[in-house]
Structures are given as C-alpha cells and as structure tokens.
Amino acid sequence: MSGKPATPAARLKPATLAAQAAGAIDPASGGVVPAIHPATTFVRDTDYVPTVDGNVYARSHAPNARLVEDLLAQLEGAQEALVFPSGMAAVAAVFRTLPAGAVVLVQSQIYWGTTAWIRDFCTRRDVRLVEVDSSDTDAFAQACAQERPALAWVETPSNPWLRITDLAACAEAVHAAGGLLVADMTTATPVLTQALSFGADLVMHSATKGLNGHSDVLAGALACADANSAIWAAIRTDRDTAGAVLGPFEAWLLLRGMRTLPLRMERMSANALRLAHQLSDHPQVEAVLYPGLTDHPGHSLAARQMQGGYGPLLSFVVKGGAQAALRATSRLQLFHRATSLGGVESLVEHRHTIEPHTGIPEGLLRVSVGIEAVEDLWDDLAQALGQ
C-alpha cells in the first residue's frame, strides 16, 4: 500500500525510472502520483500485528521517504538508500559511526560546510583527520597506505574547485588499506556518475541541490553498495534512534523534483559547457574551471567517469581580483546572487567573501548553471563582464 512498484524495474533507463518515480502511484485512489502521508503512528490489527508494511511509528517508518529511497537506490544501482533532513545530517550520520581513535582521510578543499563540520567533529571525538588532495591519486594512495584510514571521503567534481577524483583508483587504495570509500556526489548526481559502480562503498548527496533541483527542499541522502555491511547497519540504526528523518511533505516534493532529474542534468550540463567555452574566450576572464573543457586537468578522467555531461557547476576567475569579480556580480540581472547549486535557476557566488582563508582566488565566481535559454545566460554574463 505504500505505492511501491510490484516488480523492481532495474533494467529501465534513468529517465524512465525518474519520470515514473520508480512506479510510485497512490494505490488507494488510483492517482498517478503518490499521496502525502503525514501520519506519525500506524494501527495494528486485532492480533497486534502492524496492518501495512510493518509500519509502527514515523521515526522508523515513513512512506513518503521510502518512495524517494526506492527511486534513488535504483538510480544509483544501490542496494539501499536513506534520506535525511539535510545533506549535513547525512554527512553526520556517516561520521557518527566512527569509533574514537579512528583515522579518516578527507579530501582537501571540498564543500566548505563539510570540511568545517568534519574538522570540529574529529577534534571533539578524538578521530584523527588527515586532509589530502584526492584528485592527486598518488598522494591519496600514499596517504591510505601510511594512515590506514577507516574511511576516506571524496567529492567529485569538487565544490568550488571542480577537481575530479578517480573513484575506482581511490576505492582500490582505501580498500587495500582496510577502509571504506564515501563519495559526495551532490554535483554529479547519479545521472552523470554512479559512484558505487566505480567501487565506492557509500554515496552521499545534498538532495537540496540537483536531486530536488527547485531550491525548495532541504534534504540529504546516502546510498550503499552493501546493505548488510556494518557501517550501513549502524547508519540505519542511528537514523531510526537519533531521528534525523525527512518529513513527508519534503519527501513528497523531493520525489516530484526527481522526476525531471535526468532532463535537468542534461540541459544544465549542455548550458554549462557552452558558457565554459564562451567564458574561456572572454578577455576579462583569467581562467575557467570546468571538467568539460579539454584543457581541464581532470578532463579525460571526467570523460570516463561521467556520462551525458559534466554537471551544472563551473567556476571562473575574473581579471582584476575581488573588486572586479564583485562588480561583475552586481551587474548580473538573470543570475541570482545566492549560494547553493543544482536548481533550475542560475546562481552566482563570490566564494572568497564566504571563505576568505581557504585559498580561493579573490576573483573566482562560482556559477550554478540552470535550465534557462543559454543565449540569455550568456548575454547576461557578457554584459556583466563588459565586452
């Protein structure tokens, strides 16, 4: 009765799975979209058996969240997925599984919120944190061999540097050291990269970004290669008992957003690539960081690891430093000056203002390219930069 499909549709392509929300309908009404289930508690029959799907209480049994998890697991090729009330709640769920005294390897210069939280958590919990540039596979492998981490955390493409990490090589290195690989795939989404197929043990998403795609839901997700693994059991128990669950309305909106995920990623990637090329030719632009450009250091790896495009995120450095970058930003009329990424509307951010001490070039602008007509986006960028 949860609206789950009767037969798993693993053979179907992502666009089909997503558009049909992996078969989710409302069996009670026959509606082609699932209902929202706000109930926090569920009835038992006269023999004291839960009447539907084992549902007892909403912290453990959330029908709307389950539909999202089912769809995400299929898109990722995962055994199971779990949703959380934010991306950071998903990050925290992974790190809370670590025993005191553990060693973790975390990619340097990734999403700042992740770095800041992990640094603080590791200090408080007596977990030894080693930060390494995982886009340098040799450095990553050497760190694995030396430190023997319980867990390694990477993000590809990384935000906002757009570095590309070799998932298969990193999985091999960390597995050889006895640890697990977790990949934050927020920017790529499973449409562009299925990290588990490259050997990652867990995938993490800020579903707030591309998965939902409409800048109106805060959510996170994890998906696993092995639902019987100790870490997955610990994460599942932690969510049930500590209660970081996604509400039914948010889950319903997220499932709705995910129906168009493949279409949006295709359009955003095409728009971003076109803008990356045009920015590269612009006299006011010093550098463009986008893995779709053939001169990007991670291009050939990205071409193997990503399919159907290079994602919505691109950064470029404006000549003239912070002042010139902020001046260009102030002139933009279509791009919203706002943080976040992966929404249908284009956004621009001056990251140096937000994280001034992390080595971000002062003239760097990070752009999340939306699904608008690319000609309009280019006209806006060109007038803002000055021809």
Ligand X SMILES: *Cc1c(COP(=O)(O)O)cnc(C)c1O
The active-site residue, picked from 66, 70, 111, 380, is: 111
Cβ(209)–Cβ(186) below 8 Å:
yes
13 is catalytic: no
The minimum distance between CB 87 and ligand X, in angstroms, equals 2
Looking at residues 50 to 89 of the shown chain, list those that interact with ligand X (rule: CB under 6 A): 86-88
The minimum distance between CB 340 and ligand X, in angstroms, equals 7
Looking at residues 289 to 348 of the shown chain, list those that interact with ligand X (rule: CB under 6 A): 341
CB nearer to ligand X: give 88 or 102. 88
The residue behind tokens 């799975």 is 17
| Residue closest to ligand X, measured at CB | 87
The whole-angstrom separation of Cα 383 and Cα 153 is 39
Q: Which residue intervals of 299-367 are DSSP H helices?
A: 299-305, 321-331, 351-354
The active-site residue, picked from 70, 163, 201, 209, is: 209
CB nearer to ligand X: give 208 or 315. 208
CB nearer to ligand X: give 64 or 159. 159
The minimum distance between CB 207 and ligand X, in angstroms, equals 7
Q: Tell me, residue by residue from 213 to 242, as one string, x for binding to ligand X by CB under 6 A and - for no binding.
A: -----x-x----------------------
Cis peptide bond N-terminal to 356, omega within 30: no
184 is catalytic: yes
- Counts of helices then strands in the chain (DSSP H, E): 14, 12
- Binding residue for ligand X, selected from 111, 140, 198, 232, defined by CB under 6 A: 111
**DSSP sequence for 240-281:** HHH-----HHHHHHHHHHHTTHHHHHHHHHHHHHHHHHHHHT
4 is catalytic: no
Looking at residues 112 to 131 of the shown chain, list those that interact with ligand X (rule: CB under 6 A): 113-114
Other C-beta atoms lying within 10 Å of the C-beta of residue 48: 6
What is the maximum span of the chain, computed from C-alpha positions, in angstroms? 76
Cβ(186)–Cβ(167) below 8 Å:
no
| SS3 at position 64 | helix
Proportion of the chain in helix, strand, coil states, percent, rounded to 5 = 40, 15, 45
CB nearer to ligand X: give 103 or 218. 218
Angle, nearest 10°, between helix axes 137-147 and 167-176? 20
Tokens, residue 370: 């939306």
186 binds ligand X (CB under 6 A): yes
The minimum distance between CB 334 and ligand X, in angstroms, equals 22
| SS3 at position 103 | strand
CB nearer to ligand X: give 117 or 378. 117
CB nearer to ligand X: give 88 or 174. 88
The minimum distance between CB 229 and ligand X, in angstroms, equals 22
295 is catalytic: no
CB nearer to ligand X: give 39 or 242. 242
The active-site residue, picked from 59, 256, 327, 331, is: 59
The active-site residue, picked from 66, 70, 166, 184, is: 184
Cis peptide bond N-terminal to 149, omega within 30: no
The whole-angstrom separation of Cα 53 and Cα 61 is 9
The minimum distance between CB 71 and ligand X, in angstroms, equals 18
| SS3 at position 42 | coil
Q: Which residues are catalytic?
A: 59, 111, 184, 209
What residues make contact with ligand X under the rule CB under 6 A? 86-88, 111, 113-114, 155, 159, 184, 186, 206, 208-209, 218, 220, 341
